[in-house]
Amino acid sequence: MIQINPSNILKDKIGATHGISQQALDNLCTKYQPLTQEVFRAKNKVGYDFLNLPDDSELLRKIKKFVTNQNRYKWENIVVLGIGGSALGTIAVRSALISNYKRPRVFVVDNIDPQSISDLLSSINLSKTLFLVISKSGGTTEPMALYGLMRSELVKKKIRNFKKHFVFITDPKKGLLRKIAKKDGIQTFDIPSKIGGRFSVLSSACLVPLVLAGVDVNGLLKGARVMREVIKSTKGTVNPALLLAVSQFVMDRKKGKTMTVLMPYSNALFRVGDWYRQLLAESIGKNEKTGPTPINALGTTDQHSQLQLYTDGPNNKLIIFLRVLKFNEDPETGDQLPKELSFLNNRKMSTLLDAAYFGTAGSLTHSKRPNLTIEVPKVDAKNIGALFMLFEFQIALLGLLYKVDAFDQPGVEHSKQITKQLLSEL
């Protein structure tokens, strides 16, 4: 099971200016324990509904039936058209669990960058492509424009029955996408109305593309359920979501750590950091005083790009490591290196990676930089589902700790409105 080691945020490791005593951490976790129950009690309210997603076995049955039906088309490509919460979860799981060589290929177009769209168009056979248009609100400019573009391309190429090339995943009632689906008879899946975009990772928004891609979604949902149970049944510092939320809150509010770096020592988990970046930024960045800035980094790669700043620059960051305890594959270096490099001979890659992680955590601690580690037993669907639930719950707790609405995003909506206005005036 996923474990959190907070020892390097403690005063006896990094001193009283930047660290907190074990006693104070225990006391705070006890004080805020009731917030965990408050989140569970709110599970049917707008936003908090993310807690119920792992139980929707009826949805899973429907998706699996749909995917079996789709097999007759032998799709070579699944292309997701979505942005933010309608894309980042799929990107995170794809990077962690889907090999680039696997068919059907899964593309996620989460930008309206002209070059990458035309590169995609020139590398896929449209007649063998299924487009999943994903938007909770059903009207976001980027996915709607991409839908228009792909639909025009299919029509231009005179592809028969182009509608079978689209599936819409959106709010059950509201939004333009829902309206178009009704008018054109396009297949749809619902994102529950009480779920916000960035909390939709365990809804049809990600499950449809992931089942099409052959991911073990049963494992993903089971992992989320197991983590939810752990959070429900544990108390104080043993409760992983509470420990994470309280540590981050106290580091920000009391110790001036206004930035949070999420640094996996695993390429596979790097994009989970992008997903988390949105979750933290949009949920907690709510007024001039609240909102640790999330930063995404990768070990060991960013030791050679960011670490100088983290170790010697302003002491204003909490670093959260993701450490994988066992890799599915683990090649060895062999014995070809010269004497001067013999310490690298016959080493498993995981041994080198772990040494680098311990070296980095040790050097940050030595420089009085608070850091904590989330230990992930291995990268698989179950643990990724557990991480999603852990982080979503942590953010719901942070909303209560900072006393902000973690589930709205007025800043994002404002920019969406201005963009639409500008385009209609052009």
Q: Which residues are catalytic?
A: 282, 304, 416
Please list, in sequence order, all residues whose beta carbon lies within 8 angstroms of the beta carbon of residue 284, skipping any fewer than 6 positions away.
290, 291, 292, 395, 398, 399, 402, 404, 406
CB of 271 to ligand PA5, least distance (A): 16
CB of 142 to ligand PA5, least distance (A): 8
**Residue with the shortest CB distance to ligand PA5:** 197
Q: Please answer whether residues 6 and 247 qualify as being in contact, where contact means their C-beta atoms are separated by less than 8 angstroms.
A: yes
CA distance 267 to 225: 25
Name the burial class of residue 234, with classes exposed (0-12), middle (13-18) and buried (19+) by CB atoms within 10 angstroms of its CB: middle
By beta-carbon proximity to ligand PA5, the closer residue of 36 and 86 is 86
CA distance 322 to 299: 9
CB of 423 to ligand PA5, least distance (A): 16
- Token pair, residue 199, equals 């909390």
CB of 419 to ligand PA5, least distance (A): 11
By beta-carbon proximity to ligand PA5, the closer residue of 32 and 402 is 402
Q: Please answer whether residues 370 and 9 qualify as being in contact, where contact means their C-beta atoms are separated by less than 8 angstroms.
A: yes
CB of 278 to ligand PA5, least distance (A): 6
Say if strands 3-5 and 105-109 run parallel, antiparallel, or are unpaired: unpaired
DSSP annotation of 175: S
The DSSP annotation for 116-148 comes to HHHHHHHHS-GGGEEEEEEESSS--HHHHHHHH
By beta-carbon proximity to ligand PA5, the closer residue of 273 and 299 is 273
By beta-carbon proximity to ligand PA5, the closer residue of 338 and 410 is 410
- The alpha-helical segments, DSSP class H, found in 270-378 are 270-284, 307-312, 349-366
By beta-carbon proximity to ligand PA5, the closer residue of 25 and 191 is 191
Binding site for ligand PA5 (CB under 6 A): 83-86, 135-137, 140, 143, 196-198, 282, 409, 412
